[in-house]
Structure 1
């Protein structure tokens, strides 16, 4: 992450800050009207972006930080196409996040991803700071392989899908960090969203529908996580927060996907694997020195109406200490997610269920587990997809969801914590490309 400013405010800052930023993005993008690919021997500039705004109310957590969250992002991709058809490009992303809650507010601007890539008959090669895999692998995912992404929420930024971080942004920081550290389980392999410098290779798709990817990261140099809704004034609550993940070295991620398409069915089956050597010196009582995470799933879209998905993640191959503080065996991290969506005209209705369990990343490890159910609906306002004109495709979406969670933490037979509640969330999204 390369932040170029961060300014806390003592007074209330409207979420419309991010929406105003998105309008500025649109003004800047209009001269770059042509969104068609570059012709052989010519340069072209592709522009895309989005603006998200959401508000939430929470239940069963008296110290939860309900409020509003806004985010805007623009992606610029200047590219050159050679006479042979190979595309050479630079990709840069600028992001601004705004948060409002009592008593303080803040905003932050950053450049979260910068990379160089080439696309041709050989596939795609990319070098730079970005998440694990290009979004072209499966669905409309934010640069990872995922088979259970709900269709009713934002497609990028803080999201409503598992490990998306939007509902937990309105929970106390301690509880939110413990839930967020679990929810990649069942959704994707570990390190899928780490945006440290890396090299990525994506193969071409074979005639039979197979394609794959591999990436290598020398060292994770940026923390993962999401903006919390209360900014600098986030209440930690009565639960100890998770320690930031330690630095990892020699991170390798690999993926293999099979896709089959007919007029009635779009079927994808795939798996991902990640390995890393972990520097666990900053976490007391931890003996973990390596991480091996495997995830797999299946998604099916039937007649462009029903979308069904199921996926699981298992981190039990990772090398862990035999006992935890001499009391109990280490928990083998595991998670599963199942989702279903129905699309009817401009409406999308759906939801997912997730269960995940692992040892907490705290000074005294405990066995954490979470059960999550989320149900949501969205309505696509922009049926013509032409609000900007000049070659841009636009979408305007309204969405709402209810997020139900039940968190449990067991340090010993007598030291147990149980917390549950709801997050009611509404929002709007504008996107263009």
Structure 2
């Protein structure tokens, strides 16, 4: 029985060997098409590790595509990714920029941008053209907040009505490319005027952009004869008539910002005259008449403030040297109306030891180039005890090209029985 089983098992093993050999032979034999030609062998696939053996064709395609995208990003992607550098021309630098639509006048303007592939960019340039100018200027973008790249236009360049700009990239190979707008058709940022800018521009245009003024004036004032009380050698008081008069010469410079500070001036001048009271003790070798001589050499500055379109106020300070020493002075004037046209002015001026004056002046713009001004003044200058009243008239004429002249004349008196004339003029040049 044991021999029978052994023979049966041997027969089965032999049959299995024959079948296996036949299968291997068929698998190694090349297939043929209908024409009897052998079909080409399929290309061999790259060897895969054990983890890939369970991935079918549907899953392998997207996996390989994702792997390909990652490798492309590594070869030339944005900053922050690792990998080999891309071949020249494989990546083009780009700009990410949100344009600014409007800006405030006289405030710095920040232009922000981001650069894709900055490793291929040598410089990023903001090319801008300020208002009312023809040529372009350049500012280089820098790292900064809120960034990542920022270019800052200074406040003095941000002026109404607008500012134009474009952005250009200069690549590492030296070529330059406009990536946002162009110089031929730049992007425009609107810069609206604020109220003060509008006022300044309107006044400046009205004055032909002439903000600086040089001026000189001279005036002679006589109150006629006044009675002066003097003490004689015997101690008795005596009255005598003296000439009550003075003249004034002054030169000045004025600049007109035409904003909250409408204008400011500096002036230098001198005054000489005789007062109706003795201003100092009689010195040895000095005549009695010299006791009544007065004068001062002064320097002054004044500022005009704009409170409203029709309300302006001047404030002034004065330092001077008189016949009795150093003294100071001050003054103020309120202007109601057009500062460079028809208006009324109310003011005063006080100079230590020399006197005080109050005045009102009405400027009437009779013609585009002609101004007529009646003036009333009350003063105790020079160094008088009594006030006198002055009635004056002034006519101003605009000669054009910045030149202007004015002439004044009138009459004044301290006493009903005596008075005298006055006259003077002003010459100015504005540029």
Q: TM-score if structure 1 supplies the norm length?
A: 0.29
The structure with the largest alpha-carbon Rg is 2
The structure with more helix, counted as a fraction of residues: 2
What's the TM-score, normalizing by structure 2?
A: 0.30
Greater length-normalized contact order (CA 8 Å, ≥ 6 residues apart): 1
